[in-house]
Structure 1
Amino acid sequence: MWNAASRLMSLVEIGFTEPIEGTILTEAQREQFDDARLKDHQVKHYLFQAIDRTVFEQILDRRTAKSVWDSLKRKFGGNLKVKKSLLNALRREFEVLEMKKDETITDYFARVMMVSNKMRSNGEEMPDKKIIEKILRTLTDKFTYVVVSIEESKDTDTMSIDELQSSLVVHEQKFRRPSNNDEDQVLNVVGRSSTNNRERGTYRGRGNGRGRTNFNKATVECYKCHDLGHFQYECPKWKNDANYAELEEKMSCC
């Protein structure tokens, strides 16, 4: 396996040269060139599979594996100035990273890790500790007490990035649950109060407040007029409509 890899690597480093047109080759030489040509195509295919599509389209016209490899080195590894410039740009991007207000923990971690991995691939030392400290510094305000808790209860020097993400996702889910529960609770309370009050109005006479629990109706919306502060059965417009209907009925009888 090692010998095979070495032979393929030699095609990348040394290259394959087609015989000059018109050269008379022996059967053995022809077989040797055919074998080398086939291996060169294989290596070039492996290189094409390993690169991004946008880069692939730029080097598609390269005829040999060596020409593809040389082009890639010039673009990404061979030019130290280009590499340094790219790394500086990534450092600036990493420095200004902050979690957006509507962003989830998972999405923010993905953004941070994408930049961090690019920096690593360009030779930057990016230990987990540095990434963890960056994330903890740049979370939104609602995670402030969570960050304090993590820093006090856990050793961020030995914590893994996956462990931090898992912990923050759990807290994020807790943030979401109370808001939904609170909303459901308010709706249930309003619904029960409205039902109870209508029942009392039916059996005890409207306006009778005996046994009624203290309930702030400031946020109650009337289903009749949609104003706040009273239930539908208490609505003045409801009473006005009822009186008007009664008057019409009397006039029709006359």
Structure 2
Amino acid sequence: MANRATGVPAPQLLFDGSEEKFDLWETRFLSCLHILKLKETILREPDEASDEDRWKNADCYAELVRLIDDKSLSLIRHEAADDGRKGLRILKEHYSGKSKPRIINMYTSLTKLRMADSETVTDYLLRAENIITALREAGETMSDGLIVAMTLSGLPDSFKPLAVHVTQNEDSVTFAGFKRRLRVYEESEKMKMTEPTTDNVMKTYTRQGGGHSKPHSNRKEEDANITCYKCGIKGHKARKCYKKVWCNYCKNNTHAESLCKKKGGQDGVRKVAEEQGGDQDHLFKAKYVKSDRPPGNVKMKGIMVDAGATSHIVNDINKFQSFDNSFQSETHSVELADGNKCSGIAQQRGTAVIHLLDNAGRQHTAQLRDTLYMPSYPHDIFSVASM
């Protein structure tokens, strides 16, 4: 509305000729006409134009020309003089039309959309939705999957974990559900930034007597008793290990040659785990039972329950029920707990089946989907996040 004292329209009611802002401006303009009792006049063509209708239509035109820029006025002043209905129709066809070049430009804008560093998720989604709404009003049919994919491509690298989760999820994701996940992820990341830095992968707990697991209070004493499973030296975790190691046997920089499982260094790995004792992660000991083996050949092996791992890891191919044929080992990289990234160590991905014994001796079958087959990894990993 105009300022009561000066008659100057409010800034948000003025249209500056920006195509992407026309729909928002039109909403404000029609609301203004509604207050002036002119909205019905400009939206509906009367069966028979009366003198009263002509006057009201001219009033709509007068309001319209007050609130548009010079370019827009030039579009209507000759063809729609004193005709508010026709003037608004011309502007709408020009700024929100269904011409092929305009639709292509909108698709291009959507594919090139990028979230700015200073932008919030809400601001970014509003920009995307303005283009999406304009495309739909132009008659374009867009699936939620296509919209989600285009919106994902414009997110910064900090949103990659969410992008991986959305693209790997077999369930269909609606755009409304995706927006909700995006906002929740942003809030969780903000909370992490305000919290003190902690080692949230493979935290250290000990079992005292028959009670509950309790965290260590003295981290220095804890680190002094820990043996690094990367270099085999006491006093630090593998995550904090800066020692360069190299295994000549399997050509890998994630462990020393003495701890290489392929070379037969499984005893070395077990020795490291035994040296850590109660000061390392208290592992949930699950028993694998292979029904096709004689009882005397059953191998008992521990599985690590890791809240920080994003995928299950199994190093025995016999535990796999099926494999994903689309998985490409050479392009897949794994980030280990010590921060190192390795490519090619995950040879397959598929569904693994394991058998667990609970504390009452009852056997349970667990099917682990999207499990990585990594024969060089020293132990199996049960991912809490993946489950």
TM-score scaled by length of structure 2: 0.33
Structure having the higher Rg: 1
**Which protein has the bigger strand share?**
2
**Which protein has the bigger helix share?**
1
